[in-house]
Structure 1
Amino acid sequence: MQRIYTIITGFILFFGGLQSLSAQSDYATINGVFTEKATAEITIVEKSTNRSIAVVQSFKDQSQDCFTVRFPVVEDSEYLMKVLLYKQGTRRMELENVMSYPIKPKAGGVEAYSIKPSVLDQTAMTGVTVVKTLKPFSSFNLTGELKHSLTAGQLTLSKVVNGQLQPVQTLNIDARRPAFYFHIPITEEGFYYIGNLGWHKRIYAKPGDSLSLFIEGDSHELQWEKTNKENDLLAQWHGLIEPITNWGYERTIVNASKLDPDAFTANYKQLQPAIKNFMSLVSGPNATFNRLLKTVMAVDNQFAAMKLFFYASVKGAKGYVGMPKEFRDVPVYFKDALLRNAVTSSRIMQVGEGRDYLDLLTKFSLVTIEDSKKDQLTIAERLQVMIKAIPNDTLRAIFLNDQLKSTEINNLREFKATFGPLEKYATTPEAKKRYKEAYGNFLGDTAYLGKSAWNFSLPDTAGKLVSMKDFKGKVVLIDVWATWCGPCKAEFPFLREVEEEYKNNENMVFVGISTDKLEKRDAWLGLVQKEKLGGVQLLDDFGKGFARKYGINSIPRFMLIDKQGRWEEISLPRPSDKNNLKKYLDEALAAKAS
């Protein structure tokens, strides 16, 4: 009797009727090769009289030159192969070129194409060529079927790149097509993840593998029909740790209100001997898999606890609480166990949870500091503590790279104070590039610092023109906002708190500048009255007199003018970060006027 391992998942899809996994005769296959290095997306679009849908999307990075997709062919439908080319932008990948190429796939047929990115042109229809055959490439297949599900959606297979998931293919699943078929180029064995935006499940694939599974919608179970020895053992591991992962470990969004830290702690402690024994028994002919499985076990055992207690930090909070910022109320047992057994091998970057685990591990290192002292730490001091939790130069470089992307920095002064001491950890090309780009993002703002701010005048609520010259000898905090800007309005209560603390300081002036159009003046006046905005309120007609002059393309923006009427800083912390903002105000107030 074939052994079937069942794994709890959070996958919910709809379909009507069942279809045998072997009934793939109505599927067409498209193979392709890029003759030049490119980051690209290949999308097969099905067009019928009443709809147009992307049936499959294949994502290709520069490490590979080939792609292959397999999809069901519907009679009387037309098909396009869209080729989307991307280039690296300042902060993210940006679309560079798009071409739609008509194709005529046949059920059971195979077509091959050669793509040359440098000459891809929609008008001339160049860059895509039909070829008879392609050089063979290694791949693996993952077929499956969705059973008794409730809603339609996408199913994505992702690979692991530097500790995080990178989509390889996405299929659109609907009522007519309960079966799915992933055909993936592969050069090295490793972990892949199947799922959607709400969940993911880990599998293991090697070149030449042909795997199949069922996804049971009503019970949310994943069942193997055809597996390999690696997935056999991996499924046993997933089953073993189910008592400490069934709270939502594999879900993208965690419902903090349903977490039970006490029950988790009891299960965790009880399970540790079995986990230790299971890890000691891992052996077999595949040494690569053995090493990776042991890494996955160590990460799961740690990350399941860290992730639960991280989200439990906001349990009991009212309304939408979003992502927690730090750990709170972690039991003493876990403070010791999770730091003592931290996984700090660079091998964690071969696991899809690696990057997230590294992020939580460094945040977790702060639990050793008393909450009262921790709350007083600057961002720079926090990062110094966090990076010391990683005794591995490769992981330190990855941590620095990620913090450069995620840490909120307002200006060059803050950047130097925060990341200057960490520059020595930028030891990889990725981290060096990220550091240089982040530094450069603030250089443009410095062109205004120390320069006169008396070069504009705007009307106030009574229509009277107000110039910054009117506040000579005073420190001026400017809030750039608009009536349509939600984040701007969210800062109003915090701004009122700051104004209240400085209301008796005659050297402090608060100015609000709205970028609403002149024709929206009544709406602006109405919101000023409704929110009881203090200080001096000015209207900058669609940014014509002020915002455009200073290159302000996102709001809210808080800016500071010193007593000499010069720009002290043109990007400050928001009032919601009151203590940090007050440092700038107090420093400017303490300075002598010339």
Structure 2
Amino acid sequence: MKFLKKIALLCLGIFALTPIYAQKGAGFITLKGQLKGFSNQVEVEDMSEFQYLLPPSAERVFVPDANGNFTVKFKAQGPNYYRLGRNALYLTPGDDLEVFIDKGNPKTATFKGLGAEANVYMKDTPFPKGGSFIEAGKQVKSTPEETLTAVEAMASARAKELALVTKVSPEFKRLETARIKADLINSMYSAETYGLMMKKLKADGTPLSSEDYKKVIQPKVKELNKNFTDPSLMKLVVYRDVADEVIKEGGKPADIQAIKDWYSSSALVREMQKISNKQQLALFNPKVAAIKTPGYKSAVTKMLQRLMAFGKGDAAADFMAVDLEGKKVNLSSLKGKVLYVDLWATWCGPCMQEMPHYDKLKEKYKDNPNVAFVSLSIDDGEELWKKSVNSRKADGHQWLINRSKLDAYNIVGIPRTLLIDKDFKMADMNAPMPSEAAASKAIDELLK
């Protein structure tokens, strides 16, 4: 089911300014204050529609001090949505905020200064991947009708909260009003998914079926989807989660095309990021050129240019990491060997599942001096990294690095492995995982 897939996804540039802000142009946003429950590397994440379309950047990455105190200042082209920990933020050039954010409890956040009122309201933003007002199943009631009533009541309460927010722009009000509607749509779709997962029963004791939910929900959601096709709302995560359903109820052809372009652009970027061969990447040029929406085309073009700027056959980008003893080590110190670099972090479940396979692969080549295995963690701090390495009694090259130092390698997701030949040239930017038989084959080919 489509929306079940969206929930499963839990595990894994701004180009058009609104009229009210167009005259302000670009400017700086300043955040300072204290964080609780964060690791030593923090990012103010872009949550706009360009979040994954543009190449990654370290411009909003910072390291708080031992007490969680921090200051970060970055440039923005206009108002935009961001995320710090689990707190959704709405920030505008010129905003200067003093904040306290507890990663484990977003509702305890405090905001003072220019831009505060919008972000106080944003503390209660529902989580789209948790089904919005359905709250990961918490609001699923005994019947579809009762569930529908519950989420509609929550949407109404949220609208009343928004009406009380005063020191914000009309654009913020417009976007957040649309968010409430999109959250309600998302909640209705998610009610069926979570309801079936929770095995709710009818009065006669038989399980509620998908049809029972659809009969109640579909007429409501169909009505909500009408006249809601608006590409400017793609900057809202929850709207992006439901827009492919919304456009089925019609809208202006140009608006429908712009929304479809976002989905096709996102799919293209995901495809491109799996490839390291420049000749194969060049084949994406016609597909990128076919994107009709200028902002999306520009963003995907930049991503393709970044991917093609460095890849198979290029000299490996050197970097400095630290080993278990705290000594600085360079990748180039292993030049002359075939290098298999495994990127991981303790918080990455799939990475940890690969560890036994990594150890087995490393063991296979333990007597071959022409191969070196580098276990490269991008954990935010040393404590969890060292604890994991020590608990597994892992040996060899166990290194830790700040992800921002790996810009050339375009590290978007992990687990990921890099393969470098004896001439210190990239052989594969996305090498086979340790669990794949192809990993040994790729290493053996470079040893010939």
Q: Place the TM-score, normalised by the shorter chain, in its bin.
A: 0.3 to 0.5
TM-score, normalised via structure 2 length:
0.44
Richer in helix (by share):
2
**Larger Rg, first or second structure (1 or 2):** 1
Task: Give the structure, 1 or 2, with the largest relative contact order (CA under 8 Å, sep 6 or more).
Answer: 2
Richer in strand (by share):
1
TM-score, normalised via structure 1 length:
0.35
